[in-house]
Amino acid sequence: MSATHKNILIYGAGAIGRGYIPWVFSPDRFVLSYVERDEKLRTEMFRAGKFKTFKTAGDHYEELEVHIGKCFAPGEEKDFLKTADAVVTAVGPRNILAIADALRGTKMPVICCENDPAAAETLRQVSGNNNVVFAIPDVITSNTASEQIRAKDSLGIITEDGKCFIDDRAREVGGECSYIPEEELKKQWTAKLYLHNTPHCIAAYLGYFVGAQYIHEAMQHPGVREVVVGAMREMQKVLEAVSTLDKEFIAWYADKEIARFSNTLLFDPINRVAREPFRKLAPSERLIGAAQLALSAGVFPVYIGKGIMAAFFYDNANDPDANIHHLVSALSPRDFLHIVMGLDSHSALHRTLLKSWDENQSFLSTLRP
């Protein structure tokens, strides 16, 4: 291995960390090591010493074999950090504080791929590393794969051929990505949040109701597809009204996303995309936040409202936020919206969701197989 290879430590060996990052930071030029808290996955990676990631390319896959540099349990990586040229985080916004201690006193670039710009700011402040930057992997990466691929490699994972936008303050790291100024990154985040995250999770919650296992299966259901496309069109109108994004770019981005959700090669699991509904229902997030923005722009969130209702009634017992189902069942709609969701009972969104509650609940019941 050449001395010019850079050492990158990746926190999280899930969808982004294992499936997509190797395409951004090629094993030909980077040594990729991992910190993974899942003992079963970590043991499998340690024993195999390598894995394959599969990238969609038209109607087929491209394949990349990745030899793992090191594989650590959390807390074992502190000495290794002294030699790391860069760090990538892909652990989920709720878990970002768990790695702050390890990064205290470090100065190397830390690329935060957490689907939430606040996570990068939090990690920067808590760790004291001023080189923590936000990154947007504009890509869908499954945390699993088809049976055929899993037969080839039990660690195999599927990703799209997407783009990774990274704050240009980390440009020194290199890789196959787009380093862009902070203002441009904010525009890309606006598009990602409302034209990808919003309809994507709506597809997942509705897909759960129709019994789908993957997003592409959900999109084959006429009722689900109508709502997802409807929510996308609502967000298009909103962004045209309130953002600085070009109208043609918004339209292109929206159509691109619908095609992505329908891609039968991705095998993007419903339970991955729907995971943690409370986080997705936060005031500034992709559901409640999107609906609030729609109302402020004069767009009535009919389809977004149906997606929100599906999130309220997401009753996957294995989800970390499984208690949402118990809360929505135990309280009146008015109290649930006010007490649990924190919506002022006099607010426009509270009134809107309350008024459409019975209709949207009835709609969900029609989706059950």
65 — phi, psi (to 5°)? -95, 130
Of the CA atoms within 13 Å of residue 2, those in its CB half-sphere come to 7
Euclidean distance between CA atoms 194 and 199, whole angstroms: 8
- The answer to whether residues 350 and 338 touch, using CB atoms and an 8 Å cutoff, is yes
pLDDT at 1: 43
Q: Is 166 helix (H, G, I), strand (E, B) or coil?
A: strand
pLDDT in tens, 65-78: 999 999 999 999 99
pLDDT in tens, 184-238: 999 999 999 999 999 999 999 999 999 999 999 999 999 999 999 999 999 999 9
Domain ranges of the chain: 6-179, 185-367
Which stretches of the chain are assigned E, i.e. beta strand? Answer: 6-11, 30-35, 50-57, 60-72, 86-89, 110-112, 132-138, 157-159, 163-167, 178-180
Instruction: Please enumerate, as own/partner, the contacts of 314-319 that have beta carbons within 8 Å and a separation of 24 or more.
Output: 314/205, 314/208, 314/274, 314/277, 316/208, 316/271, 316/274, 318/271, 319/271, 319/274, 319/275, 319/276, 319/277
Task: Report the amino acid identity of residue 360.
Answer: N
Task: Report the amino acid identity of residue 362.
Answer: S
Of 256, 194, 266, 201, the C-alpha closest to 228 is 201
Q: How many residues does the chain have?
A: 369
The CATH code of domain 6-179 reads 3.40.50.720
**Cβ neighbours for 178, distance < 8 A, ≥ 6 positions apart:** 163, 164, 165, 166
Q: Is 172 helix (H, G, I), strand (E, B) or coil?
A: helix
Q: Any bridge partners for residue 193, and if so which?
A: none
**pLDDT for residue 139 is more than 80:** yes
Whole-Å CA distances, 14 to 10, 90, 159, 339: 10, 8, 11, 34
Greater pLDDT, 322 or 3: 322
- To the question of domain 185-367 being in CATH 3.40.640.10, the answer is no
Q: In the structure encoding, which two tokens stand for residue 203, read together?
A: 């597809």
Euclidean distance between CA atoms 219 and 284, whole angstroms: 26
pLDDT in tens, 20-77: 999 999 999 999 999 999 999 999 999 999 999 999 998 999 999 999 999 999 999 9
The single-letter DSSP state of residue 169 is: G
